[in-house]
């Protein structure tokens, strides 16, 4: 009964306000109804925050729920009651359920991401991986270079190709697949292959890039040559170094 009375009283109040206090429309049309929250805005403008809360409590059951929660949040925030204001803002969002569910799920996801990133940052393993260790990188690339030379000499095609970065393309412009087919043929065709390296120089460009230059001595059963070569090694997400660029210098 009390709710019905409030609703009836508010209806009469709004109708009276619209009739006697409405501002004329800019286009010369009929009157424009006032905001039902007009009395609240007056209290807020005068800084009468406790009275504003009382007004909201009185008309809670008959005013639009989302706007009611929003106005309550604003009043509480102005009073410095931050935690209560935050709760009220969340309630305002929840009045539109699909949107509230999205916000809630997104918030949970962001919290999971933040926790995972924080745990990952503090993990001893991650901290050790992030330490700058140029000598370790150079040693790892030196070992990878030797595996590359050894696999080529042994005509172990799979091990040789595994030392190149995924999607590697030679400077000649061949596609990755065409280059792989060509290398398979050239490693398997000779009766034997011998590859030796001399004057090896290794330079760390960044934590993820290392450059090697050397003189390559190549020989098989019907051909031999000596060239100076440069290989650019990139560290992958798995921590392994692979060839990202291969260039014959002379």
Query: Residue 241: what pLDDT?
Result: 96
What is 67-113 written as a DSSP string? HHHHHHHHHHHHTT-HHHHHHHHHHHHHTSHHHHHHHHHHHHHHHHH
pTM score: 0.49
At residue 87, the pLDDT reads 82
Query: Looking at residue 67, what is its pLDDT?
Result: 86
- Annotation: CATH topology of 134-248: Nuclear Transport Factor 2; Chain: A, (3.10.450)
Question: What is the predicted pLDDT for the residue at 100?
Answer: 60
Name the residue ranges covered by the structural domains of the chain.
134-248
Q: Taking the C-alpha atoms of 149, 155, 157 and 159 in order, what is their torsion angle to the nearest 10 degrees?
A: -50
Distance of CA 246 to the CA centre of its chain: 32
Q: What is the pLDDT along the chain (250 residues), one digit of tens a residue?
A: 444 444 444 443 344 334 333 333 334 444 445 678 888 889 999 999 999 999 988 888 888 888 888 899 899 989 988 888 888 888 887 776 666 666 666 666 666 666 666 565 455 555 455 456 789 999 999 999 999 999 999 999 999 999 999 989 998 888 899 999 999 999 999 999 999 999 999 999 999 999 999 999 999 999 999 999 999 999 999 999 999 999 999 7
The CA distances from residue 129 to 12, 98, 176, in Å, are: 72, 43, 31
Rounded to whole angstroms, what are the CA distances from 45 to 36, 79, 112, 121?
Answer: 16, 13, 41, 48
Question: Residue 250's pLDDT is what?
Answer: 73
For residue 38, what pLDDT is reported?
A: 86
Structure tokens at 39: 């009395």
pLDDT of 132: 61
pLDDT at 230: 96
**What pLDDT, on the 0 to 100 scale, is given for residue 215?**
96
């Amino acid at each position: 009964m009390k709710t019905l009375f409030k609703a009836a009283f508010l209806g009469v109040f709004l109708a009276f306000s619209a009739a006697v206090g409405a501002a004329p429309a800019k286009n010369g049309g009929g009157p424009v109804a006032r905001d039902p929250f007009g009395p609240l805005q007056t209290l807020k403008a005068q800084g009468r925050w406790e009275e504003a809360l009382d007004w909201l409590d009185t008309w809670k059951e008959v005013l639009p729920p989302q706007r009611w929660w929003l106005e309550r949040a604003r009043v509480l925030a102005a009073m410095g009651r931050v935690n209560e204001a935050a709760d009220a803002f969340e309630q305002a969002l929840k009045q539109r359920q699909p949107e509230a569910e999205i916000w809630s799920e997104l918030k949970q996801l962001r919290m999971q991401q933040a926790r995972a990133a924080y745990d990952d940052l503090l993990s001893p393993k991650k901290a050790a991986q992030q330490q700058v260790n140029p000598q370790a990188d150079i040693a790892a690339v030196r070992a990878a270079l030797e595996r590359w030379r050894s696999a080529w000499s042994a005509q172990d095609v799979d091990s040789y190709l595994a030392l190149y970065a995924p999607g590697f393309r030679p400077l000649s412009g061949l596609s990755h697949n065409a280059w792989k087919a060509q290398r398979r043929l050239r490693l398997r065709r000779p009766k034997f292959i011998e590859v030796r390296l001399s004057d090896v120089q290794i330079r760390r460009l960044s934590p993820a890039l290392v450059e090697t230059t050397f003189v390559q001595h190549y020989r098989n059963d019907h051909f031999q040559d000596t060239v100076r070569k440069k290989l650019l090694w990139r560290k992958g997400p798995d921590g392994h170094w692979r060839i990202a660029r291969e260039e014959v210098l002379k």
